[in-house]
Each structure stands twice: as C-alpha cells, then as structure tokens.
Amino acid sequence: MKKLISIIGTTGIGKTKLAIELAKHFSTEIISCDSRQFFREMNIGTATPSKEELAEVPHHFIGQLSVDTYYSIGQFEKEALKKMENLFQKHDIVILVGGSMMYEKAVIQGLHELPEANSDNQEKLEKCFAEEGIEALQKLLKELDPTYFNVVDKDNPRRLFRAIDIIWQTGKTYTDNISEQIKKRDFEVIRIGIQAPREIIYDRINQRVDIMLDKGLVEEAKNLIPHKDKTALQTVGYAELFKHFSGEWTLEFAVEEIKKNSRRFAKRQLTWYRKEENIYWVDFENSVAESLSLLEKLTIKKL
C-alpha cells in the first residue's frame, strides 16, 4: 500500500527541515497543508520555505493562490487528494507537512459535507460581532462546544462564525460534525510529530518573529493593507500589524502581541495533538535521525 508520511508539530518546531530531509531520503515530493502558506503575498509572515528550500525537493500547495482568493478546506481536501493520486503513480511515499490541524485531518481522514453558510445566521453573528466584539462570539462558542473552543483560533472571527453557524444549522456540536471519518483512504498514513519542552517552543517562536521582522515583515504587511479584510489576512502576524498601521497600537506592542498570539496558537496545537493517539513523537534536536530509525523499524526502506 502507498504511504503518506505526515509531519506535524507546533509552529516554529522544524517541520520544514524534517519534511525536506525525508523527501530527499525517499526521492519523493512534499504537499503542504499549512493553510497560510497557500497565499503568495504572505511569504515572510507565514515562514514559507525559502527559494533554496523549495529548490531542494518539489513542493505543492505553496504560494499557489492570491490573498483575494477564497479557498475552503473542502477545496483543499479535493485538490490535495487528486495531487496525491498523481504523485502515487510515481512514488510509493509522499510527504505531507504543516501545522494547520484541520487541513491535515482533511487529507488523512476526510471531513463531513458541512452545510453552506446560512445567510440569516451570518447576519446575526456579524451584528453580534459589530456590537459586542469578538468576546461575545467566544463566549457563545464556549457554551455551545467547549471542546472545539479549546482548539479553535479564538481570535479569528470567521472561524467562530463558521462553527456557530454549523452548530445552529445541525443541532450538533461542531466537534461532532467533524469527528467522523467520511471515506476510507487507499493509502497508509504514518504521522511523525516533532516535540520539545514548552519553554523551548516558546523561545523558538519569539526568535522566529524577530527573524521575520528582520526579513521585512512590517513592509510585507504594509503592502497588504488594501486586502486587510480578506479572510487570508485575519491571522497572526498581520492582524496585529494592521492595528499598528491604523494607529491603535505601537509597533513594539504589536510585535509583543504577535509573539503572544503565536505562543497561544502553539498551545492550541499541543492541545489538539495531545488528543490524537496515532502519532510517533521524535525529539526536535534529533528529528531526522529518529524519524529515519522509526521508519526503518516500520520496514519503510529507502527507495
């Protein structure tokens, strides 16, 4: 059976490096399931692999869209599976990598056919957001589905809108709606997670934000001001800088908020992965050697 090796872990932990090394070892290609790296105008703030890294092995689903494009998780599932079908004609192994938990789930397990957004519900939620702020939406979702509330990006109003809308439409929690597998996959999935002590994860995140700033994150975000209301930009690293540009926050405060919100996202990732049972964990300092040793034990030899 064909094998998909899925590399997961928190933001800034070293997933890109491990994915590239494994892809080179097995002479195969990489599919990204990092939903923020789909957009070509957001390279710095999403830590998109460098030109040199992209040249080492073929990558798919990186920079293929404009921030003006609406791209759903369902579209990604269909297109990623089609791409994998093509890749499996040439390779016995394909690498999947990314920290977007639901996008990984869409590929390895499948998602329910959830109903389209209900305009009446969306209108009510927009009104609630405008009048009472994001805290009201957070409180509502926490009451309706505390499990999903613990892992959702709480600062992204669109994610909150979607989950609450689905709950209202179906009468079931969002967690229940997305928990069942839809279709059996015709490939085997091996999930490798990179782990590190929490203080190391947070330190690496802080350092990575500083590196992004050195590379020109502020200028990149400034160029995206005309698109700031687009869904793709309701995300850590950009939302905070837009508040700086509008005069609401100082740059220093915005940078601290980026670091804080990135750490919060990593905490949500840890919460999500802790509930998963089928992950082989490797140490961040020795991830390549440990992964190759693990895969050899699983009788996956170099091709």
pLDDT of amino acid 189: 96
Q: Which of 179, 196, 220 is the last residue of a domain?
A: 179
pLDDT of amino acid 208: 96
**In total, how many domains does the chain have?**
2
Q: Both 129 and 139 in a single domain? A: yes
Closest CA to 235 of 30, 34, 61: 34
Q: Both 206 and 58 in a single domain? A: yes
Q: How far, rounded to the nearest angstrom, does the alpha carbon of residue 73 sit from its chain's CA centroid? A: 11
| Residue 303 resides in a domain | no
Q: Both 254 and 108 in a single domain? A: yes
- 119-153 pLDDT, tens digit per residue, is 899 889 989 998 999 999 999 999 999 999 998 88
Give me the percent of the chain exceeding a pLDDT of 70. 97
Q: Both 271 and 251 in a single domain? A: yes
Whether residue 170 has pLDDT greater than 60 = yes
Q: If pLDDT is split at 50, 70 and 90, which confidence band does 180 have? A: low
pLDDT of amino acid 301: 63
Q: Both 186 and 175 in a single domain? A: no
Enclosing domain of residue 203: 3-112+180-297
CA–CA distance, 219 with 241 (Å, rounded to integer): 10
How many residues are there in the chain? Answer: 303
Q: What is the dihedral of CA 192, 197, 199, 204, to 10 degrees?
A: -30
pLDDT of amino acid 57: 97
Q: Residue 82 sits in a domain of what CATH number?
A: 3.40.50.300
| Residue 209 resides in a domain | yes
Q: Which of 156, 179, 202 is the last residue of a domain?
A: 179
CA–CA distance, 7 with 177 (Å, rounded to integer): 25
Give me the percent of the chain exceeding a pLDDT of 90. 78
Backbone angles phi, psi at 278, to 5 degrees: -105, 50
User: Can you give the pTM of this predicted structure?
Assistant: 0.82
| Residue 150 resides in a domain | yes
Q: Residue 135 sits in a domain of what CATH number?
A: 1.10.20.140
Q: Both 126 and 199 in a single domain? A: no
Q: Which of 157, 179, 201 is the last residue of a domain?
A: 179
CB atoms within 10 A of CB 130: 8
Mean residue pLDDT across the chain: 93
Name residues whose C-beta falls within 8 Å of residue 245's C-beta, 6 or more positions apart in sequence. Answer: 221, 222, 225
Q: If pLDDT is split at 50, 70 and 90, which confidence band does 70 have? A: confident
Structure tokens at 210: 């500083």
Per DSSP, 180 falls in state: S
Q: Both 19 and 107 in a single domain? A: yes
